[in-house]
């Protein structure tokens, strides 16, 4: 089959690889109909996530048709149309019992690697490095889905297009969880750093959850326009205004009640020298994150407010404003999204017409064009927001 493979820093290639096989009784094989390139795939593309091997099949946002099931699978049948969540979860451990699916204790056979970096391991993830399990991903014609009874959600409503439900695999629940973690009270002001796809869904979800005011921060006018249009957000271009000042003005000196980081480890900074400082340190591996957005989210948040981190981080950071966090009684909430928890309720919101997730899609191309898709997305060419690949 054809699959988009990581071949080194800034190199992906569509290659012929073997078709997947059932390895565990609980596996299903899915023929991928639609898959997407995630912002977090760019961290792999840029070489900032360790333990990648040349030839790894990428992709953790995908859906398709079940073509084979293992002996132990009871809830899926051949022919079912499914969306697959990006974290792999067994459904039987203590973490899964508590619906903390991205912390599944059994799905990462390479847990020892993650323990070295993080102290303990988290769940396995499709196509996202060997410390996340070494699973082949879904930017491919076929994919093996472990614990098929636990993760995938069957889409029975044929009137829903692939594009309407595909993002239940990651970015819609991830943005939604980012807003949910903020414990939004009616009328709250929620600020979102990053107007990429996750930021768009975080802003839209904050509005759905009752925020009085949503403010989105980015530097690309086309992205800010989208947030204004679809989440009713006010927007700040950090290359034009001092964000902390502007947020203080908007909230009469208090700061936003909640701040969501939808940027992660490769943030850009408005000030050239400060950006260069972190970029050099990251390049020399003296830190793994460029955390400008998170630093600003922390120092902007109102006293006693909540900082929700949904952008991906990999290791260590410096210049972390811990004093601001501690002295001002901020609450930090974070985690890879527990997607399995959100798929059904968010599918209902799509069916009810409360949100149409297709608004983020700007580019559609065949799987064979994946390398071009990575390039356009990475460079934000042609007002790129989200690339969907069809197999």
Partner 1 sequence: MGSATGTAATSDGAGHATSGDPTGSDRRRGTGERLAKGLGWFSVGLGVPQVLAPGRMNRLIGVDDSRQNRAVMRAMGVRELAGAPGILDRPRPAGFLFARVAGDALDLAVLGAALRARGNVRARVAAAMAAVAGVTVLDVIASAKTSRSADPTTGGGAVRAQSAITVNRPPDEVYRFWRDVENLPRFMAHLESVHGQGDVRSHWVARAPAGATVEWDAEVVEDVPGSLIAWRSLDGAEVPNSGTVRLAPAPGGGATEVRVDLEYQAPLGAAGAAAARLFGEDPIQQVKDDLRRFKQVVETGDVVRSDGSPDGTRTQRQLHQREAQPLA
Under the rule (CB under 8 A), what is the footprint of partner 1? Answer: 3, 5, 17-21, 23-26, 51, 53-57, 72, 90-94, 97, 103, 105-113, 115, 119-121, 124, 127, 130, 133-137, 142, 144, 146-147
Phi-psi region of 38 (alpha: psi -120 to 50; beta: other; left: phi over 0): beta
Calpha distance 233→228 (Å, rounded): 4
**Tokens (6 digits) for 374:** 């990575």
Cβ pair 155, 165 in contact under 8 A: yes
Nearer to partner 1, 141 or 278 (CB): 141
Q: Compute the Cα dihedral for 78, 57, 109, 83 and give only its sign.
A: negative
Q: Tell me how far, at minimum, the Cβ of 40 lies from partner 1, in Å.
A: 16
Q: How many whole angstroms separate alpha carbon 118 and alpha carbon 120?
A: 5
Nearest CB to partner 1, comparing residues 138 and 255: 138
Would you say 108 or 205 has its CB closer to partner 1? 108
| Least Cβ distance, residue 24 to partner 1 (angstroms) | 5
Cα distance between residue 220 and residue 196, in whole Å: 10
Nearer to partner 1, 24 or 271 (CB): 24
Q: Is 315 helix (H, G, I), strand (E, B) or coil?
A: coil
Q: How far is the CB of 166 from partner 1 (least distance, A)?
A: 22
Rounded to 5°, the CA angle 62-65-69 comes to: 105
- Asked whether 360 and 385 are in contact (CB, 8 A), the reply is yes
Query: CB of residue 102 vs partner 1: minimum separation in angstroms?
Result: 13
**Do residues 235 and 227 make contact, with C-beta atoms less than 8 angstroms apart?**
yes
Pick the closer one to partner 1 by CB: 40 or 296: 40
Torsion angles phi and psi, residue 7, rounded to 5: -115, 10
Q: How far is the CB of 332 from partner 1 (least distance, A)?
A: 18
Pick 56 or 163: Cβ nearer partner 1: 56
Nearest approach in angstroms of CB 149 to partner 1 is 11
Contact of 140 with 18, CB cutoff 8 Å: no
DSSP letter string over 237-269?
A: ETTTS-HHHHHHHHTTTS--SEEEE---TB---
Q: In terms of CB distance, is 20 or 178 closer to partner 1?
A: 20
Token pair 């988009």 is at which residue? 4
Tell me how far, at minimum, the Cβ of 20 lies from partner 1, in Å. Answer: 4
Q: Which residue has the tokens 């992709």?
A: 59
Q: How far is the CB of 314 from partner 1 (least distance, A)?
A: 17
Taking the least distance from each CB to partner 1, the nearer of 57 and 190 is 57
Closest approach of partner 1 to the CB of residue 387, in Å:
21
> Closest CB to partner 1 among 94 and 276?
94
User: Do the strands 81-84 and 153-154 form a parallel or antiparallel pair, or are they unpaired?
Assistant: antiparallel
End-to-end CA distance of the chain: 10
User: CB-wise, 97 or 158, nearer to partner 1?
Assistant: 97
- Least separation in angstroms between residue 286's CB and partner 1 is 20
**Phi, psi (degrees; rounded to nearest 5) at 14:** -85, 120
311 CB neighbour count, 10 Å cutoff: 29
> What does the alpha-carbon distance between residue 295 and residue 315 come to, in Å, rounded to a whole number?
16
């Amino acid at each position: 089959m054809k699959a988009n493979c990581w071949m080194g820093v800034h190199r992906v290639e569509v290659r012929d690889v073997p078709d997947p096989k059932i390895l565990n009784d609980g596996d299903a094989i899915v023929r991928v109909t639609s898959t997407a390139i995630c912002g977090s795939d760019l961290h792999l593309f840029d070489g900032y996530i360790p333990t990648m091997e040349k030839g790894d099949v990428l992709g953790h946002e995908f859906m398709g048709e079940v073509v084979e099931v293992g002996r132990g699978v009871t809830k899926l049948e051949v022919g079912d149309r499914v969306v697959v969540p990006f974290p792999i979860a067994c459904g039987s451990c203590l973490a899964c019992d508590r619906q903390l699916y991205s912390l599944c204790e059994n799905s990462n056979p390479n847990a020892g690697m993650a323990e070295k970096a993080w102290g303990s391991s988290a769940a396995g993830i499709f196509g996202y490095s060997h410390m996340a399990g070494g699973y082949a991903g879904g930017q491919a014609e076929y994919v093996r889905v472990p614990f098929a009874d636990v993760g995938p959600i069957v889409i029975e409503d044929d009137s829903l297009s692939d594009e309407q439900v595909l993002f239940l695999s990651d970015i819609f629940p991830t943005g939604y969880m980012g807003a949910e973690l903020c414990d939004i009270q009616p009328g709250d002001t929620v600020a979102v750093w990053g107007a990429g796809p996750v930021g768009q869904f975080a802003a839209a979800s904050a509005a759905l959850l009752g925020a009085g005011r949503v403010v989105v921060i980015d530097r690309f006018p086309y992205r800010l326009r989208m947030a204004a249009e679809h989440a009713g957000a006010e927007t700040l271009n950090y290359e034009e205004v001092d964000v902390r000042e502007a947020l203080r003005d908007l909230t009469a000196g208090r700061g936003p009640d909640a701040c969501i980081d939808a940027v992660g480890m490769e943030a850009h900074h408005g000030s050239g020298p400060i950006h260069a400082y972190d970029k050099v340190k990251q390049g020399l591996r003296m830190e793994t994150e460029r955390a400008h957005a998170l630093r600003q989210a922390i120092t902007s948040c109102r006293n006693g407010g909540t900082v929700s981190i949904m952008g991906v981080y990999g290791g260590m950071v410096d210049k972390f404003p811990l004093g601001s966090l501690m002295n001002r009684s901020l609450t930090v909430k974070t985690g890879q999204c527990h997607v399995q928890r959100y798929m059904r309720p968010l599918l209902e919101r799509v069916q009810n017409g409360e949100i149409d997730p297709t608004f983020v899609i700007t580019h559609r191309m065949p799987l064979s064009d994946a390398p071009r898709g990575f390039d356009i997305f990475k460079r934000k060419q042609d007002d790129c927001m989200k690339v969907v690949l069809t197999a």
